[in-house]
Amino acid sequence: MSARRHLGALIWSVGLALAAFGVAPSRAQNADLAVLPPVPDEYVPKKTEWGDPDLRGTWPIDHLNGLPLQRTAEQGNRVFLTDEEFTERQERINKLANRYEDDSSSDRLGQGHWVEMGEPSRRTSLLVQPSNGRLPDMTEEGKRLSAQMRSSWRQGQSFDTWADFDSWDRCITRGLPASMLPMQYNNGIRIWQAPGLVAIQLEMIHETRIIPIGGARTSTVEVDNWLGQSRGYWEDKNTLVVETDHFRPGPSATNIVTTGSPPENDTPISREAKLVERFTMTGPDTIVYEMTWSDPIVFTEPWGVRLDWQRNDEYEMFEYACHEGNVQLRNYVTASRAQRAAETSD
């Protein structure tokens, strides 16, 4: 490892250690707020019984909830917050985290019983590509496709049939890459391994991604899937690379419950979209997750994120009982029709 790479990894490790104890690194400790240290690559994980690096375990990303997908325009190319910005984020997250006790003390059921806030992070955004930490512009075709999308999150929309709802509204899928990003609840991720296979279990919508290792696709048939067709390979002693394509259009590539995402679940996915993920084990209880999303039909350039995962094998993944009678869609349709009828009669 070069001296520059070693120094970058050391600064990153020190920052993580200080954050774990609630100590905010000073500007001096983050000498260059615009530089994201490289992913440490010296750790050698233990092996599975069949000789692959062992990533098995529970890796919830609830601690990242509250770290926005995108930076503000004012933050420019800064990867890290200033001390003042970090203090502001701490205060905001602490206030939101107190909503549970506030709701309980006032004997009401509100967002405090629903939304799980994470730990304040020094990072400005989950996005690290492009360098400004913001989603790139959509193409003209991307804008056209976006305008056609339907969802309960879209403003000013009426509802008449199931087609007026997206796949998340209908409890089918949150889709990729959105399912790999932190959200307000159900952030559990669990990795399973078998010879020639890796499975990623997601708490939200109770989905499991099946990833053959060694170049084979999920399916030998050219079929579009909600979560695409994946194949993986081990790049070195500690990194799993997963490439996914053949996505079925429908879900939004971004999701409103990831802080800082577009607010209407209207980021389209085309059949030319490709996802490349890297899972690098940097310690016995840490993984750096990197993802690059390329969709030339929708975006003018690729975009990517970097997340720091923490093992928590005590985390319990509960049933995501999304339907439970699934009366919500019917209620939306009934209320929308009634509202329009009332407006017509006035």
Query: Kind of pairing, strands 57-58 and 189-194?
Result: antiparallel
Residue 139 is which amino acid?
A: T
Distance CA 169, CA 171 (A): 6
Average pLDDT along the chain, 346 residues, taken 10 residues at a time = 37 41 41 89 95 97 91 94 88 75 69 68 95 97 96 92 92 94 91 97 92 73 86 93 95 93 94 97 97 98 97 91 78 93 84
CA dihedral 22, 63, 100, 256 (to 10 degrees): 130
Q: Which helix (H) or strand (E) holds 19?
A: helix 3-20
Distance CA 10, CA 5 (A): 9
Helix spans in 56-160 (H): 83-97, 99-105, 140-148
pTM: 0.85
- Domains of the chain, by residue range, sit at 45-80+128-346
Question: For the chain, how are helix, strand and coil distributed in percent, rounded to 5?
Answer: 25, 20, 55
Range 1-21 burial, b when 16+ CB lie within 10 A, else e: eeeeeeebbebbeebbeebee
Cis peptide bond prior to 45, omega within 30° of 0 = no
- Of 89, 110, 86, the closest CA to residue 100 belongs to 110
Distance CA 192, CA 58 (A): 9
CB atoms closer than 10 angstroms to residue 120: 23
For tokens 């078998």, name the residue. 194
Helix (H, G, I), strand (E, B) or coil at 167: coil
pLDDT given at position 27: 41
Q: Which helix (H) or strand (E) holds 345?
A: helix 327-345
Q: What is the C-alpha R_g of the chain?
A: 21
Sequence-distant (≥ 6) Cβ neighbours of residue 88 within 8 angstroms: none
Paired tokens of 2 = 């070069």
pLDDT given at position 100: 67
Distance CA 135, CA 303 (A): 7
- Sheet containing 197-202: give its strands across: 57-58, 189-194, 197-202, 207-212
pLDDT given at position 55: 97
pLDDT given at position 218: 57
pLDDT given at position 15: 45
Distance CA 285, CA 328 (A): 40
